[in-house]
Amino acid sequence: MILWTNATFYSMEDCLLTYDKVLTNEGIIVALGNDTLKYSNYQTIDLKGSYVFPGFSESHLHLIGYGRKLFSNNLKLDINKESVLAKIKKFYKNEKLLIEGYVNIGITKDDLDLISSDNIIILRHNDYHSFTVNSKVLEMLNIKNSNGIILDDLVSSKITKVWESNDKVMLTKITDYAIKDLKKLGFTSVHTDDLSYFNSYDETIEILNLLSKTNNFRINTLIHHSVLDSFIKYYPNNKLLNPIQIKVFYDGTLSSKTALISENYKNSNNNGKRYITDKDFLNLLKKARSLSKGLAIHTIGDLAFSEVIKLLSLEKKASEMDRIVHGSLASDDLILELENIAIDIQPHFIKSDKEVIRKNINHQTNIYPFDKYNKKVIINTSSDAPVEDPNPLLNMYELNNISRFDMIKSYTINPYLTINKKGGLIKEGYYADFTCFDKDIMKIEKEELLNTKVLYTIIDEKM
């Protein structure tokens, strides 16, 4: 048993309830405040006056992709063509070159071929769905009549395969790096979507299985629908690794004008794309229910959102939580109607998508209406890393039209309500996972969030 002392523990059951000490045993909270006095024979750990919250969860990211971002060459959203090309030239080392943080400023295969046409060069656009490549890549994949700017999702998926081809040793190394980084940011668990993008399901799940143990870190894996059968055959038995919702894409993105919206994109007669038919969606939903699982649906456009809600209502089950990933655009009617569903939001997109939205869509519906959802909706704040920075303090700083209490809930209890596990509260019977800050993030001014540090991350009773 461990008695954790000298700290303010926020239970998160309501915004005022705090304790001065917490007792844990075998990874679970057993007593709070003065109730701990009934016990003896424990080790005491002094938390040095920190402000302690239930362990934070990052509720939507791509763990392995985030690791690669931390390792990769990054253009950091530079939009000056000359300086971008100079940086690419500098990154080039006579071998395959992968670059992130590129904003589509119209660089083509011809520009890249001047740097090399013998080795692969791939610029990954900042929305992580499109690419710019040199002619070597086009030849390799037999893509004809292209200037190297790849916005089409089908072609993009082929390039993703080239991009992701790494051996197990490298994938393990970058994932390990990502986990260590997230723990420093105060995360005790993640909900991650990785299983279908790399060499194989079996290899990827083994990497996550191993690293959750060596790092003592909770990894909840979305199950991409394309690896569902592999998942049914095998999933490791490990208390730190947990299979959650089945991931499926309903539409595309705003930047490639493939998000399904209710009216046409500006200067175009297209309103986006459906990536899955009603029939296939309902079959997948039934299959999910037969496995006692919910769906996690990539949904960006407002039309996509209302269609998905209609389809889900045909097989709604209170015991299995479905989640909308992004939910960027939503009509007023839809917002009123929503209940018993989780939405994984990314406050950073408000800023980073502003220009795309101005250029591509008419402002006739709610864009990122995070503050409008009612209490029957579970809001999870996330980063979609590698797309955005996962630092929770930055997200809290960004999204200040939601109360601080609701904001912290979106990192603690809400992600756990979404996956039906006993975490995210400081309460008897819940996980002994804690995120300890040097300042009281429930009360400090917005600006102070940027000067706040994570002192300790405690997972499964281990610091």
CB closer to Zn ion out of 197 and 281? 197
Q: Which two tokens stand for residue 440?
A: 């009281």
Tell me whether residue 222 or residue 455 sits nearer to Zn ion (CB atom).
222
Cβ count near 44 (within 10 Å):
12
Q: Which amino acid is at 336?
A: L
Output the smallest distance, CB 60 to Zn ion, in A: 6
Alpha carbon separation from 416 to 82, 360, 407, 435 (Å, rounded):
47, 36, 14, 15
341-345 and 323-326 strand pairing: parallel
* Nearest Cα to Cα of residue 380 among 57, 63, 54, 52: 57
Residues in contact with Zn ion by the rule CB under 5 A: 384
Sequence-distant (6+) residues with CB within 8 A of 90 are: none
Separation between Cα atoms, residue 371 and residue 379, nearest integer Å: 10
- SS3 at position 284: helix
CA distance 148 to 151: 10
The minimum distance between CB 380 and Zn ion, in angstroms, equals 13
Q: Which is nearer to Zn ion, 159 or 442 (CB)?
A: 159
CA 431/CA 461 separation, integer angstroms:
8
User: What span, in angstroms and rounded, lies between the C-alpha atoms of 19 and 14?
Assistant: 12
Please say which residue, 384 or 388, places its beta carbon nearer to Zn ion: 384
Q: How far is the CB of 290 from Zn ion (least distance, A)?
A: 25
Closest separation in Å from C-beta 62 to Zn ion: 6
Q: Which residues in 71-145 belong to E strands, given as ranges?
A: 73-74, 97-102, 121-125, 131-133
Q: Which is nearer to Zn ion, 251 or 384 (CB)?
A: 384
Instruction: Report the residue number, 253 or 365, with the smaller CB distance to Zn ion.
Output: 253
Is residue 69 within 8 A of residue 77, CB to CB? The reply is: no
Among 249, 79, 235, 102, which Cα is nearest to 163's?
A: 102
Rounded Cα gap, residues 406 and 387, in angstroms: 24
**Cβ 398 to Zn ion shortest distance, Å:** 18
72 with 97: CB under 8 angstroms?
no
Least distance to Zn ion, CB of residue 354, Å: 20
* Closer Cβ to Zn ion, 384 or 398, answer by number: 384
Report which residue type is found at 217.
Answer: F
**CB of residue 296 vs Zn ion: minimum separation in angstroms?**
9
- As measured in angstroms, the least distance from the Cβ of 66 to Zn ion is 10
Cis status of the peptide bond prior to 415, with omega within 30 of 0: no
CB of 183 to Zn ion, least distance (A): 21
Q: Closest-CB residue for Zn ion? A: 384
Q: Which is nearer to Zn ion, 3 or 387 (CB)?
A: 387
Q: Which residues contact 6 (CB under 8 A, 6 or more apart)?
A: 46, 47, 48, 49
- The nearer residue to Zn ion, 96 or 273, going by C-beta atoms, is 273
- Closest distance between Zn ion and the C-beta of residue 137, in Å? 23
- Select 127 or 398, whichever has its Cβ closest to Zn ion: 127
Q: What is the dihedral of CA 222, 329, 252, 346, to 10 degrees?
A: -50
Which of residues 273 and 427 has its CB atom nearest to Zn ion in the complex? Answer: 273
> Pick from 399, 249, 282, 378: which is nearest to 323 by CA?
378
**Half-sphere exposure in the Cβ direction for 318 (13 Å, CA):** 1
31 - beta bridge partners?
A: 23
Please say which residue, 100 or 461, places its beta carbon nearer to Zn ion. 100
Query: What gap in Å lies between CA 265 and CA 243, rounded to an integer?
Result: 37
Report how far apart the first and last C-alpha atoms of the chain are (Å, whole number). 14
Give me the least distance between CB of 327 and Zn ion, in Å please: 13
